[in-house]
Amino acid sequence: MGGTYKDVLVAIDGSEESRCVLSRAAAIVYGSGGRLHLLHVIEPLALAYGADVPMDVSDLQASLMQQARENIDSYAAEFRVPAGQVHVELGSIEKTIQDKADALGADLIVIGSHTRTGLALLLGSTARGVVPGAHCDVLAVKIPRS
């Protein structure tokens, strides 16, 4: 390997930290003529809240996907990521990141690593969860505490 990454998959959660993670990935890719792929994973509501969700959540799920897509598209525009390299997927976070990296032939996965709790889905545990199953390098970007 010549020391440069050709296909870099950046998994972001759409929070403020995403910009920090993306700029690190962009610095790696855009100097080397590589490709930046953007991924946002949404966990299925049934997965997050147990299978016995008392109502049909498909409309809610669709609207969450749509909102996520708009959010991620704004980051894509800011970092000049072509639409074909922007992915919003439904699934378990770690497995979806690994599967997408494999499907794209990515040679680097970039994720945020922070200990903040709350609604942000890519927590430090995601960074730990992605590494063992990944078939390529994984860069966990340390998010400075604000």
The C-alpha atoms of residue 35 and residue 46 are separated, in whole angstroms, by 34
Asked if residue 47 has pLDDT above 70, the reply is: no
Note whether residue 84 is domain-resident: yes
Q: CA 87 → CA 1, 14, 72, 76, 110, distances in Å?
A: 27, 12, 9, 10, 14
Note the pLDDT of residue 119: 41
Among 136, 122, 19, CA closest to 78: 19
Among 119, 133, 142, CA closest to 43: 119
Note whether residue 23 is domain-resident: yes
Q: Is 40:87 a contact under the CB 8 Å cutoff?
A: yes
Q: How many domains does the chain have?
A: 1
The C-alpha atoms of residue 136 and residue 3 are separated, in whole angstroms, by 13
The C-alpha atoms of residue 117 and residue 91 are separated, in whole angstroms, by 20
The conformation of residue 28, written as its DSSP 8-state character, comes to H
Confidence of residue 54 (pLDDT cuts 50, 70, 90): low
Note whether residue 2 is domain-resident: no
Tell me the per-residue pLDDT of 7-43, one tens digit each, with 9 for 90 and over.
Answer: 999 999 888 889 999 999 999 998 788 999 999 998 8
Note the pLDDT of residue 44: 80
Note whether residue 1 is domain-resident: no
Name the residue range of residue 23's domain. Answer: 7-142
Asked if residue 123 has pLDDT above 60, the reply is: no
State the pTM of this model: 0.82
Note the pLDDT of residue 36: 95
Asked if residue 132 has pLDDT above 70, the reply is: yes
* CATH code, domain carrying 30: 3.40.50.620
Note whether residue 32 is domain-resident: yes
Tell me the per-residue pLDDT of 68-121, one tens digit each, with 9 for 90 and over.
Answer: 999 999 999 999 999 999 999 998 888 999 999 999 999 999 998 764 444 444
Terminal alpha carbon distance of the chain: 37
Strands 108-113 and 7-11: parallel
